[in-house]
Structure 1
Amino acid sequence: MKGRTGVRWLAAVAAVAVLATVAGMSTASGAQSGFTLRIGVVVPFTGASAVFGPAYAKAAGLAVQQAKTSLRRAGINNVKIEIEYADDGTTPEGGVNAARTMISKGADCILGALTSGSSIAIAQAATVPARVPQIGPNNSSPALTDLKDNGYFFRTMPSDTLQAPILARLIKEEMGAGKTISLAGRNDAFGTGLLPILKTALERVGMKTQGPLLYDPTAASYNSEADDIVKGNPDAYVILDFPANYAKIGSALLRTGRFNGRRLFVAGGWPATIPSFIPTASLEGARGTVAGSPTGTKAAESFHRLFTARPGTKDRQTLDANNFDGAMICILAAVAANSGRGSDIVKQIPRVASAPGRTYTYLNLAGAIRAIKAGKDINYEGVGGPVDFDQNGDLKAALYNVYAYKDGKQDVIRQLKIRK
């Protein structure tokens, strides 16, 4: 439902307990006053990105569960963690309403939203005025870099300024130099953020471009837009949208009789498996780039086992680990601040997530907590990779997956590491 706020306690996601109360002992240096950390999670249970909601919610809840165990092992008994979920309906208005509701109920750290447009709206109208740190798990719009957030917004996904050259290079490699690429996408922070810089990147590597065509993401149908996208029979297409809305775009494109999903390129967070509501022919064979998670690391493999073993959805989604990492950063920063107050937590986020300091993953979370309590710097390395933040709350480095939809599932072809 559009703009739906519907707060869901963790009971709404079967994998997670609503309240995780942490047990243990005080530090050797003497007892410190305890605190309660309240984490609010803005996720799309409805709307154009609803396919991602359950996995992202479960990932954040798993972080709280792991923190509960690790705080107990570290000997901390005076910290309590509460986690709450609210549906943003995949709209900025819904995101603002969801965040405001949770903040009014005492949320000290907000995770979300999944879309850049919603995250920008939340920051401007909810988290920044309330002095509550916000960590976006799946936000790539370049507009977030210069957002006037007073240092309260961070994201565990890199900016599209890093993705555009990679996607342009992939298109050239796959299609050959000098080909014409039709560019189209939703007229919001996602489309307007990536398409112009992608157009420039494509032309720099010798490609021709058509568009970009920006369309209304709330339109009922897209027949005329589809005709414009395939006009002139371009060699390939780039279309930027969210799953539920792409179902309508893809259907309209197939009706033209001139569109082939194997000539489509996409970017950003797309479902790991083609959803049943999207016409398979409109996406099968499509190639894309997305900020990726390291494969083969102990943390990544352990997280996958943890996710699939616990109750609730078993279906992983692209970048769901980013929400796990966001929750961990909130928790570690609160421990470092010895406070559940957002204005205290935000000061510690760069300290616990970035160099210098010994590197810890969630597999040695108790050790990280002990180090913090001993006054040492730590460098939390996420399941999704390093989360070193710059002065704008952006990642300093990124790992990108190059993938293709093969037999209905994302098949990672290679991974590329880049730094600013």
Structure 2
Amino acid sequence: MSCKIGRLAAWAAVSALAIVASAQGAGAEPLDLKIGALLESTGPLSELGPPAEKAINLSATVANKAAKDAGVEAKVTIVSADSQGDPQAALSATRTLVDKGASCIMGPSTTPESISVLNGITMQRKITLWPLASSTRLRTVKDDGTIYRPVPADDLQSKALVKAIENHVGKGKAVAIIFRNEPYGDALSKSFTTDWQAEGGTISSTISFDPQQESFDSEAGQAVDTNPDAYVVIDYPETYAKLGAALVRTGKFDAKKVFVADALSFAKVPDNIPPEALEGAYGVAGGSPTGTDAFKAFNKLWDEAGGVANASYTANSFDAAILCFLSAVEAGSTEPGAIRDKIRSVTKDGAPQFTIETLADAVKTAATGKEIDYVGVSGAFRFKDNGDPSSSLYDVFQYQGGKQVKIEQVNVK
């Protein structure tokens, strides 16, 4: 009898070790994953830097807890650098992150920066780049399957702007477009013109400006002189401080007719932008399904962490970092190419679904090499062949009392 009990105990011990080995991968080395955060800490989009940084740091906290709860030896560390809103500075910052061992890069926020980083370092090293840049111009370059955008491209944002204007101004109206003359502004203005005219609307004027110019009075005068039913403004916070002031000075400008693109989406209107330039203005930015448990859990984590207020695209940045982590776990490697090759395996339609609330279970499953479907805070990821989301939910917001208030959501494909 004692021999039989001894054999049973030995069998139980071996079985327990086998379960742990299958979860971690037999003989697997502990994963020490470093995720690079290429932040807009300074420069024309500096309003976006702090929320993105907080979101990415939260992802590491959540990932490390999930790995511990799953019994999988994996650690995530965030390394950060400032892209400064400048292509050359972004490339230099990325080199710093790669030198520190970054296997994935979150950011940057503009297309020129993204292309510079892609061509200068990430494509060569098979490092996945997760830019918040939304311009369709980003898809005119070869990326060797290394770019995955956690935010929708501007061909979808254009449709969201159309729906927002139709809902709050009406169909078939005259719209004046004012945009900064660079890839983001140029491509989005063209997409919007096509989509708005296809719905029976008209364009009263299309006005571009050089972001480096000192005065915007001429452009502001041209915009208000056509007396449009609505304005579409495609700009960054730094320059809209000047452009918005010029529009107010015309004496003919009504901010309640304004619809801004996502680069002018922030929780609170910056102090350098005249209140009259945005009070009552509408805007669109990629949103997250608000009724899900994942959304509620993320917001709770955000509030508990303190610091900067939540803003547009924080959930997208968070999800992108989690996808990098899960891909590394499934690959059993922090080698950039191995992570790249698993992105679609952790967002597999039809595979077992997991969210941040069940992330430990996702880690256990991914560690066995099985496909999973991580459904993020910002929704399910159905990447097209080019790495862009195939559809998106957009928030339509309005600035009330200097703060952003979400008033509805629209689905676009």
Structure 2 CA distance for aligned equivalents of residues 57 and 25 of structure 1: 35
Q: Is the 8 A contact 1:196 1:212 kept in 2?
A: no
Amino acid at match of 1:333: S
Structure 2 CA distance for aligned equivalents of residues 232 and 416 of structure 1: 29
Say which SS state the counterpart of residue 383 (structure 2) adopts.
Answer: coil
Cα deviation for residue 143 of structure 1 reads 1.8
Structure 1 CA distance for aligned equivalents of residues 170 and 54 of structure 2: 42
Match of 2:31 in 1: 35
Percent identical across equivalent pairs?
35
Amino acid at match of 2:60: V
Q: Is the 8 A contact 1:140 1:268 kept in 2?
A: no
- Matched ranges for 1:266-285 at <5 A: 266-269=260-263, 270-285=265-280
Structure 1 CA distance for aligned equivalents of residues 139 and 198 of structure 2: 23
Match of 2:72 in 1: 76
Say which SS state the counterpart of residue 63 (structure 2) adopts.
Answer: helix
Calculate the aligned-residue CA RMSD, in Å: 1.8
Change (3 A) 1:284 1:354: farther
Cα deviation for residue 274 of structure 1 reads 1.4
Match of 1:168 in 2: 162
Select the residue among 365, 381, 397 that pairs with 1:403: 397
Give CA deviations for 1:219-265 in whole Å, capped at 9, x if unaligned.
Answer: 23312222222232222211101112211110111111111111111
Amino acid at match of 2:241: A
- Matched ranges for 1:128-143 at <5 A: 128-136=123-131, 138-143=132-137
Amino acid at match of 1:307: W
Q: Is the 8 A contact 1:266 1:286 kept in 2?
A: yes
Cα deviation for residue 29 of structure 1 reads 5.6
Match of 1:57 in 2: 53
Change (3 A) 1:100 1:221: farther
Structure 2 CA distance for aligned equivalents of residues 418 and 199 of structure 1: 17
Structure 1 CA distance for aligned equivalents of residues 21 and 303 of structure 2: 32
Structure 2 CA distance for aligned equivalents of residues 61 and 25 of structure 1: 29
Select the residue among 215, 234, 239 that pairs with 1:240: 234
Say which SS state the counterpart of residue 96 (structure 1) adopts.
Answer: helix
Structure 1 CA distance for aligned equivalents of residues 364 and 67 of structure 2: 9
Larger radius of gyration: 2
Structure 1 CA distance for aligned equivalents of residues 25 and 262 of structure 2: 46
Match of 2:197 in 1: 203
- Matched ranges for 1:93-132 at <5 A: 93-132=88-127
Structure 2 CA distance for aligned equivalents of residues 248 and 343 of structure 1: 44
Structure 1 CA distance for aligned equivalents of residues 225 and 177 of structure 2: 11
Structure 2 CA distance for aligned equivalents of residues 365 and 179 of structure 1: 47
Match of 1:89 in 2: 84
Cα deviation for residue 363 of structure 1 reads 1.3
Amino acid at match of 1:303: F
Select the residue among 246, 257, 260 that pairs with 2:251: 257
Structure 1 CA distance for aligned equivalents of residues 155 and 255 of structure 2: 25
Give CA deviations for 1:124-159 in whole Å, capped at 9, x if unaligned.
Answer: 2221123211112x3221122343100000011111
Amino acid at match of 2:69: R
Structure 2 CA distance for aligned equivalents of residues 143 and 25 of structure 1: 46
TM-score by length of structure 2 reads 0.90
Structure 1 CA distance for aligned equivalents of residues 266 and 42 of structure 2: 15
Change (3 A) 1:176 1:76: closer
Say which SS state the counterpart of residue 349 (structure 1) adopts.
Answer: coil
Q: Is the 8 A contact 2:176 2:204 kept in 1?
A: yes
Say which SS state the counterpart of residue 98 (structure 2) adopts.
Answer: helix
Change (3 A) 1:29 1:82: closer
Q: Is the 8 A contact 1:145 1:394 kept in 2?
A: no
Structure 2 CA distance for aligned equivalents of residues 281 and 177 of structure 1: 26
Structure 1 CA distance for aligned equivalents of residues 270 and 49 of structure 2: 14
Say which SS state the counterpart of residue 124 (structure 1) adopts.
Answer: helix
Amino acid at match of 2:250: T
Amino acid at match of 2:101: G
Select between 56-65 and 230-239 the one with higher mean Cα deviation. Answer: 230-239
Amino acid at match of 2:46: A
Q: Is the 8 A contact 1:361 1:383 kept in 2?
A: yes
Structure 2 CA distance for aligned equivalents of residues 212 and 386 of structure 1: 36
Query: Structure 2: 5+ residue runs without aligned partners?
Result: 1-19
Cα deviation for residue 356 of structure 1 reads 2.9
Cα deviation for residue 295 of structure 1 reads 0.8
Say which SS state the counterpart of residue 388 (structure 1) adopts.
Answer: coil
- Matched ranges for 1:293-312 at <5 A: 293-311=288-306
Structure 1 CA distance for aligned equivalents of residues 52 and 21 of structure 2: 31
Q: Is the 8 A contact 1:287 1:405 kept in 2?
A: yes
Match of 1:4 in 2: none
Structure 1 CA distance for aligned equivalents of residues 247 and 95 of structure 2: 39
Match of 2:372 in 1: 378
Q: Is the 8 A contact 1:169 1:205 kept in 2?
A: no
Structure 2 CA distance for aligned equivalents of residues 170 and 310 of structure 1: 33
Alignment of 1:218 with 2:212, yes or no, is yes
Say which SS state the counterpart of residue 353 (structure 1) adopts.
Answer: coil
TM-score by length of structure 1 reads 0.89
Q: Is the 8 A contact 2:156 2:391 kept in 1?
A: no
Match of 1:314 in 2: 308
Q: Is the 8 A contact 1:26 1:32 kept in 2?
A: no
Structure 1 CA distance for aligned equivalents of residues 76 and 144 of structure 2: 26
